[in-house]
Amino acid sequence: MAHILVVDDVEGVRRSIAAGLKRAGHTVDEADSGVSALSTLRSVKPDLVITDMLMPEMDGLDLIDEIKSGSAGPYPVLAISGGGSFVSTGDALKVAETTADGILEKPFDSTELDAAVRALLGEVQK
């Protein structure tokens, strides 16, 4: 199966996603911020990065830009968001749509996550 990096500043969300991916047979690394993810990407070469869009320090959009520019990648990216205090879920994902390889709105279930991951990994394996 695939090696996936999950990036989310909310520990419960990050661990829940990671647990579901592990149950599906994937190897998972976790990062609690975009900055932490970039550090992880210096030593880990995942098949896919799943990142929240709204995080402190470095948001998902900046992380995706770093990944897509090649300085920390490039890797396929699945952007996830449930919105925030000042940004709606739709707006966050609309921005992500222009740079990420896939998007998924929180909350999502394991079936939706699995389908999104399979679709993106299928693109990588072609």
The whole-number pLDDT of residue 126 equals 40
pLDDT at 98: 72
- Digit-coded pLDDT (tens) for 2-60: 999 999 999 999 999 999 999 999 999 999 999 999 999 999 999 999 999 888 889 89
Residue 55 half-sphere exposure, CB side, CA atoms within 13 Å? 29
Does 84 score more than 60 pLDDT?
no
* pTM as predicted: 0.88
Question: In CATH, what number is assigned to the domain containing residue 31?
Answer: 3.40.50.2300
The residue among 31, 124, 8, 41 whose CA lies nearest residue 76 is 124
| H-type alpha helices, 8-109 | 11-23, 34-41, 60-69, 89-97
Q: Rounded to 5 degrees, what angle do the CA atoms 92, 94, 95 make?
A: 70
Please state, in angstroms and rounded to a whole number, the distance separating the CA atoms of residues 115 and 12: 21
- pLDDT tens per residue, range 94-120: 666 678 899 898 899 999 999 999 999
**What pLDDT does 83 receive?**
58
Q: What is the pLDDT of residue 90?
A: 61
Spatial separation of the C-alpha atoms in residues 7 and 2, rounded to whole Å: 16
72-85 average pLDDT score: 80
pLDDT at residue 89 greater than cutoff 90 = no
Tokens of 82: 């449930």
Indicate the number of domains in the chain: 1
Whole domain around residue 24: which residue ranges?
A: 3-125
